[in-house]
Amino acid sequence: MTSTLISGLDRCSPCLAVREAAAEVHLAHGSWSPTGTTGTKKGGKAKVKSGCRTCKARKIKCDEAFPICRRCSTTGRNCDGYGIWGGGGNARSPPSRVTTDRKTLCIATRNSCTARASLGSPMFISPVVASPDQAALFHWFQARTSCKLPGSFSSHFWSTLLLQSSFGEPAIFHAVLALSSVHKRGVLNSDREELHHTAPDKLERFGLHHYLESIGHLQRHLTGGRNRASCRVALIACIVFVSMDFLRGHFSAGQIHLDSGLKLLQQTCSGPGPSLLAFDEWIIEFFSRLYLQVRLFNRQSLCPYRPLVLRPRSSGIPSLGFHCLKEAWHEIEKLMDDIFLLTDQARDLPSDESSPCRSVTIVESQLEVRHRAAQWLNKYETWVSPTVRAASMVDTRAWYLLRSYHTMVTIMAEVALDPLDEVLFDAYTHLFVRLLDQLRDLRTASSAWLSYPAPLGRNLRYDMARSIIDLGWIPPLFFTVIKCRVPTIRLEAVQLLESTCHREGIWDGRMLARVGRRVIELEEQDFFDHVNPRYDATSYGRQDSGALRASSLPSSYRMHDLEVVLTGDPVRLVTLRFKREKGFDGALATIPI
């Protein structure tokens, strides 16, 4: 685990340590200095600009050995290490205390042009003079942004790594302030008209300024030669940029940032070199989540690159139950990843109408995915009941969300080997009914997040306060709308989408509700005007399935290979690309936003 930069982190949570430090910030205006000094002029000896923190404090030259410098080890002193880049003395000795006075908040910075080891070590520590506006925005990030954006599944990236590295790297510090500006502006102006129609205000200008500052520091990191330490900084900043783009509705820019980050991640975390550390795993985990949500959004997207390092690894011997929410979610991620691979392999296999040509291996892979999905459900049902009863509301919401994703994954696994046959989904209508029931339960359990005091309608304003970067209930709802052809089921799903005015990463509830309505219009046309089905989604299981089959939407009406193309930053136009049987290939439909 990365060594701590904030003192006392071994005896308190990272959030508390940062909160205590931030509470003492009463600083004058200042700026980063290329020489490592601040705008405040003070006399005295020149500062030691390299080495571990112990040698820095002693003002002596450090040999910079890792993880413990020889200067400290040979004299019996405890080495306090190199900030967020690790190292340091034995675990029994807490790191030295970061001092904050009334005028300065000391933040460790790293000279981007010199890095000796693959892990990297900060070459000097300089105080950053933060303005009152910067301090207020950083407090907003710590108290609001970093707590809300992860969604239902906690992440060490948000709770630990990003907060610590904000104190250690100016590139990340400025990126965090830019993200905080976007989030705060959206939350405080949620009752106004769309913000992109108004002139830039103070927070927007502030966010742009710090975004450019962060880019400038990153360029200095990477122009002096790419080592693992510099790449880590770039990867952390990249995640912050993607989050900022998605919150603003700049989805094309976010996917481009993500694509660049995934390529850098593969270069950094694969091949020869030191083994991955804890914070490397946290970075990989978050990139995996971002990749998954973009891939789930569109099979063919602006982000097709999938690093091998994202491939979920086996956790070893299967356990009888889940130990935590994160473990259960990781299993769902593995299942979705394998289903994507199965679908891609099935598309590449030649076939004819009479006898599909499939290898034995791919069929066995599908059976293995089905078996793991069944195992997941057994573990969930065995362990979740007492857990949910004792859980907080946030955890209860997460368990409901997990259950709905499992149902969606089960349907995806069943049809994975026939990606062009949309009629197959009709055989799993009972699972769509179950999925909709689970999403209703989720809404009830999380009314504080997903219900609104105003009447539901199609013109709800975007709500930044409820938006997250991780996956939530929007993907299963949208999946139901486009894959279930029972009118009452998909209609209720689209109505639930229309009651949603937040974003979940690239998934925008308001926008996808309009997409869902358009898909229903294009597929059903006037077919059900003559059928007039009498069944109801909530009571489907008690009704005659023959009536359902008799009114099934013909395959010639159905879309397959649906792709949602977003144009503009923020989105101004949505284009639907899809295929149909017999002469309808390459059809397009546009939806102005």
Where do runs of H (alpha helix) occur along 469-559?
474-483, 487-498, 509-524, 527-531, 545-550
> In the chain, what is the straight-line distance between the N-terminal and C-terminal CA atoms, in Å?
45
Q: Is 563 helix (H, G, I), strand (E, B) or coil?
A: strand
Helix 474-483 with 393-414: angle, nearest 10 deg: 30
Confidence band, pLDDT 50/70/90 cuts, at residue 318: low
Question: CA distances (Å), 489 to each of 112, 435, 495, in order?
Answer: 56, 10, 10
**Cβ within 8 Å of residue 472, ≥6 positions away:** 151, 152, 401, 504, 507
What confidence tens digit (pLDDT) does each residue in 538-585 have? 444 444 444 555 578 888 889 988 989 898 888 889 999 888 875 555
Better-scored residue on pLDDT, 300 or 353: 300
Beta bridge partners of 567: 573
Has residue 352 got a pLDDT over 80? no
What confidence tens digit (pLDDT) does each residue in 46-79 have? 455 567 888 888 888 887 776 788 788 778 788 8
Has residue 510 got a pLDDT over 60? yes
pTM: 0.75
For residues 450-458, give the mean pLDDT: 44
What confidence tens digit (pLDDT) does each residue in 383-427 have? 766 555 555 666 778 888 999 999 999 999 999 998 889 999 999
Helix 487-498 with 509-524: angle, nearest 10 deg: 160
- The answer to whether the beta carbons of residues 239 and 260 sit under 8 Å apart is no
- The answer to whether the beta carbons of residues 174 and 217 sit under 8 Å apart is yes
Token pair for 235: 């990867």
Q: What are the strands of the beta sheet with 573-579, ordered from one edge?
A: 560-567, 573-579, 587-592
